[in-house]
């Protein structure tokens, strides 16, 4: 479980000392949230016992200011805009493909798209974000959607944020199913360990085509149940839900490394 994470950290210059510091802080934070007794917050002494970290260090970590997440809202707005572009008939052609849009004043098609799906965020800010990650291209005032979704091709920072979100989602589902704290969540996979190069290439194409079709169908469904930038009705809980799909691929030949 740690091996691919450590590869990513080493590749991006994160030292063992930095990782240890993050891990220690996360141990305390997660124990504080999830390992109280009878619904009560755990004491510093209990946190020290549960985590194996001394009381003084536990207290220091608890006194740290909470981490801010300034990029989450920006990414969510960008995702909503791209989804609207892909799903809204006003912004797709007769074949269901996203139209080329114009950027400019408030009446321009891209500006209207952002107004409809991005809430009160400025169209320029959304355009800058989509250009930054390579989701759109711009020629003069014409905007072309280059990806069938918010897929950050050009931004290493955005790719790492997507990595973190996807890894967290998968591990959270695995933790839920292993701990048996409620009804099991969907967790399925299919993999064979003696597939040749031809089969590998064919499966890449097939799985990509099938996955995209399924995700677009699920996207349409969730879009009808999402409150957008509006708050949910009074008394109604908010939930984050979705489905993640990923390709399994590694070499099983001894002495070979495959990090595709």
What is the model's pLDDT at position 50?
94
The secondary structure of residue 228, as a DSSP letter, is T
Domain boundaries, the chain: 2-62, 70-145
What is the model's pLDDT at position 242?
93
53-75 burial, b at 16+ Cβ within 10 Å, e below that, comes to beeeebeebeeeeeeeeeeeeeb
The alpha carbons of the chain give a radius of gyration, in whole angstroms, of 22
pLDDT band at 154 (very low <50, low <70, confident <90, very high): low
Handedness of CA 20, 27, 70, 135 (dihedral sign): positive
pLDDT-above-70 percentage for the chain: 90
How many residues make up the chain in this entry? 260
- Structure confidence by residue, pLDDT tens digits, 84-113: 898 888 999 988 889 999 999 889 999 999
Strand segments, DSSP code E, in the chain are: 101-102, 136-139, 142-145
Q: How far is CA 193 from CA 4, 134, 153, 200, 247, in A?
A: 19, 35, 30, 11, 14
CATH top-level class for 70-145? Answer: mainly alpha
What mean pLDDT value characterizes the chain?
Answer: 86
What is the model's pLDDT at position 118?
83
What is the model's pLDDT at position 202?
97
What is the model's pLDDT at position 256?
54
Per-residue pLDDT at 135 exceeds 70: yes
């Amino acid at each position: 479980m740690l091996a691919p994470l450590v590869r990513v950290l080493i590749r991006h210059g994160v030292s063992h000392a930095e990782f240890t510091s993050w891990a220690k802080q996360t141990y305390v934070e997660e124990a504080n949230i999830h390992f109280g007794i009878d619904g009560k917050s755990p004491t510093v002494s209990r946190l020290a016992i549960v985590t194996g970290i001394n009381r003084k260090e536990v207290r220091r970590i608890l006194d740290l200011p909470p981490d801010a997440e300034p990029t989450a809202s920006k990414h969510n707005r960008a995702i909503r805009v791209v989804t609207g572009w892909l799903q809204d008939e006003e912004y797709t052609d007769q074949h269901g493909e996203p139209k080329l849009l114009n950027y400019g004043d408030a009446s321009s098609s891209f500006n209207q798209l952002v107004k409809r799906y991005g809430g009160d965020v400025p169209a320029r800010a959304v355009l800058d974000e989509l250009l930054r990650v390579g989701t759109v291209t711009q020629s003069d005032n014409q905007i072309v959607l280059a990806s069938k979704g918010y897929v950050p091709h050009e931004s290493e920072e955005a790719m790492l944020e997507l990595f973190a979100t996807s890894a967290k989602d998968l591990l959270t589902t695995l933790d839920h199913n292993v701990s048996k704290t409620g009804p099991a969540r969907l967790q399925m996979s299919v993999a064979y360990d003696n597939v040749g190069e031809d089969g590998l290439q064919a499966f890449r194409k097939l799985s990509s085509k099938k996955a995209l079709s399924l995700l677009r169908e699920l996207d349409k469904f969730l879009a009808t149940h999402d409150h957008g930038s509006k708050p949910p009705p009074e008394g109604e809980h908010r939930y984050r839900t979705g489905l993640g799909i990923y390709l399994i691929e590694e070499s099983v030949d001894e002495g070979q490394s495959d990090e595709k």
